[in-house]
Structure 1
Amino acid sequence: MDRVNELAKMKAAVIFTKSSCCMCHSIKTLFYEMGASPAVHEIDRDARGKEMEWALQRFGCNPTVPAVFIGGKYVGSARDVLSFHLDGSLKDMLIEAKAIWF
């Protein structure tokens, strides 16, 4: 849990993913298209990936990936992020966290 917390706070936008997850790819693409450069941690390619997956489950991430953190706070999964994007609040969150500038 500590490692996930540390990684989540290292950058304004952080996404925990798996390399084979299509929704993870979609969320990363959304962030890139919005001008953000998130830290991406592919837990299936990390030696401590299983531990991180368990920690993400304890955070309430279901499914565990993609798990998005903005400004060090857990924002949600793909469904949550897409919902925030559609109502315009994702952009506001990214601006507030200084992940993008306008």
Structure 2
Amino acid sequence: MERVAKLSTEKAVVIFTTSTCPMCHTVESLFSDLGAAPAVHELDKDPRGRDMERELARRLGRSPPVPAVFIAGKLVGSTDRVMSLHLAGKLVPMLRAAGAIWL
């Protein structure tokens, strides 16, 4: 879907969420704590959210597809992938390379 592709590149970090998803909040907090200031799109509040949700589920190969994290326009994955990258010390370098953080 073109909308997902367009929105996923609007900032260095983009997160697709739903307003009631606790793991979405956790991932948002992680990026904010790292200083990344992500663009957050709550699918349940977007009139085209259902279509975007289906596209993200197709890309991720799972449902529900949130949170879906994009860094530098590339799909990184969901909570488990983001946390794995962070624990392995790979998330911060990705954010630096994308221009999301400078420290």
Contact 1:61 1:76 in 2 (8 A): no
* SS at 2:58 equivalent: helix
Tell me the equivalent position of 1:17: 17
C-alpha distance in structure 2 between counterparts of 1:50 and 1:8, whole Å = 16
Tell me the equivalent position of 1:77: 78
Q: Which runs of 4+ in 1 moved over 6 A?
A: none
C-alpha distance in structure 2 between counterparts of 1:37 and 1:67, whole Å = 15
For residues 45 and 61 of structure 1, do their structure 2 counterparts lie closer, same or farther at Cα, with a shift above 3 Å needed? farther
What is the Cα deviation at residue 61 of structure 1? Answer: 4.8
What is the Cα deviation at residue 46 of structure 1? Answer: 0.5
TM-score by length of 2: 0.96
Contact 1:37 1:99 in 2 (8 A): yes
Corresponding pairs, count: 102
Identity %: 55
C-alpha distance in structure 2 between counterparts of 1:61 and 1:8, whole Å = 18
Cα root mean square deviation, aligned: 0.8
Alpha-carbon displacement from aligned partner over 1:46-98 (angstroms, at most 9, x marks no partner): 01000000110121252300000000000010000000000010101100000
What is the one-letter code of the residue matched to 2:46? D
Q: Where does the alignment leave 5 or more consecutive residues of structure 2 unmatched?
A: none
